[in-house]
Amino acid sequence: MRPLRKIIFPAAGMGTRFLPATKASPKEMLTIVDKPLIQYGVEEALAAGMDEIIMVTGRGKRAIEDHFDISAELEANLKSAGKSKLYKAVSDVSRMAEVVYVRQKQALGLGHAVLCASPWINDEPFGVSLADELIVHDKPAMRQLRDVYEATGCSVVGLVQVPESQVHRYGIVDFVAEEHGLLRLMNMVEKPAAEDAPSHLAIVGRYIFTPALMTLLKDVKAGKGGEIQLTDAIAALARQEPVYGVLLEGQRFDAGTPEGFLQANAILGLQHPDYGDGFRQALKGWL
Ligand code: G1P
């Protein structure tokens, strides 16, 4: 089995669900407690042993590059001021990973964004992570997927159960349950109406693919919303070779919506080792 080192972060979307907050800054830089969303995603990938990061960005996304870059002046200032905890936080983030940036010049869809990274994949297996989905667990979501990939050698898609009222927001899978709790995915539909949804299991923005996915993506035509959909390429892959689904464990927030973003800040704020107790006390005063 080829080693799994590479992971693509599509981060070129316009963040329309978050306007006006995302008018001049990337949605991936929205902050959950004390870190931007994209940093949670990168830390999760590194914890799963995927350290070759390909970030697909677009216009107005420079802040992401700056975030993972060395800020020599800031580091020098923090160091000389003796702010060692802040210095460590800032210097760690600029050294945590080697990141390659690719620009998606036109907003043609998630599948197209992933395809933009294909020159860096070189016929290797790779992960894809959507940073606006935040999944918190001792065993990182990407590690949960990786275990299934290593056991099967097949592509794996992270899933969560959603209520019927939300199936129109996600890719929804049709599956057959196999041994050892594995779900073999037979088909998937991007953002179906409730009556057309094959199940209530939603694709949650964590994927590991065999290289065949890239080949199929090249031929995917515009689908739902006139966009080239990653979901359509996975459906084609599932017709060609086994693709598995894994129900992810952990606290999951769809932080790409204002509701999910607020919940993530509230819950992770309450759990934060430095701010949690104070935040809880302050909330009691407000409620
Ligand atoms: C994307 C995918 C969808 C998936 C969702 C997870 O949709 O196309 O299949 O269920 O992410 O958040 P988006 O939210 O980018 O519209």
Answer yes or no: is pLDDT of 1 > 80. no
Side-chain half-sphere CA neighbours of 172 within 13 A: 22
Q: What is the mean pLDDT of the chain?
A: 95
Sketch out the chain's domains with CATH numbers.
Answer: 6-286 (3.90.550.10)
Mean pLDDT of 37-56: 96
The CB density around residue 259, as the number of other CB atoms within 10 Å, is: 10
Question: Residue 20: is the preceding peptide bond cis (ω within 30°)?
Answer: yes
Answer yes or no: is pLDDT of 116 > 80. yes
Mean pLDDT of 152-173: 97
Q: Are 246 and 140 in contact (CB under 8 A)?
A: no
Answer yes or no: is pLDDT of 98 > 80. yes
Question: Which atom of ligand 1 has the smallest separation from the CA of 171?
Answer: 9
Mean pLDDT of 153-162: 97
Mean pLDDT of 184-201: 97
This prediction's pTM? 0.95
Answer yes or no: is pLDDT of 2 > 80. no
Answer yes or no: is pLDDT of 13 > 90. no
Mean pLDDT of 75-88: 93
Residue 118 Cβ contacting ligand 1 at under 6 Å: no
pLDDT band per the 50, 70, 90 thresholds, residue 75 = very high
Ligand 1 midpoint to CA 100 (Å)? 23
Top pLDDT among 94 and 32 is at 32
Our mutation pick for probing the ligand 1 site, out of 133, 167, 203, counting the most ligand atoms within 8 A of Cβ, is 203
Our mutation pick for probing the ligand 1 site, out of 8, 9, 16, 110, counting the most ligand atoms within 8 A of Cβ, is 110
- CA separation for the pair 264, 71 (Å, rounded): 28
Ligand 1 midpoint to CA 205 (Å)? 6
Residue 232 is predicted with a pLDDT of: 98
pLDDT band per the 50, 70, 90 thresholds, residue 287 = confident
- Give per-residue pLDDT as tens, 203-224: 999 999 999 999 999 999 999 9
Top pLDDT among 18 and 230 is at 230
Q: How far is CA 176 from the centre of its chain?
A: 25
Mean pLDDT of 95-105: 92
Mean pLDDT of 27-48: 96
Residue of 248, 243, 239, 247 whose CA lies nearest to 210: 243
Question: Which atom of ligand 1 has the smallest separation from the CA of 230?
Answer: 8
Residue 256 Cβ contacting ligand 1 at under 6 Å: yes
Residue 188 is predicted with a pLDDT of: 97
Answer yes or no: is pLDDT of 127 > 80. yes
Question: Which atom of ligand 1 has the smallest separation from the CA of 254?
Answer: 12
Closest-CA residue, ligand 1 atom 13, reads 170
Ligand 1 midpoint to CA 204 (Å)? 7
Ligand 1 midpoint to CA 75 (Å)? 37
Residue 227 Cβ contacting ligand 1 at under 6 Å: no
Question: Which atom of ligand 1 has the smallest separation from the CA of 256?
Answer: 14
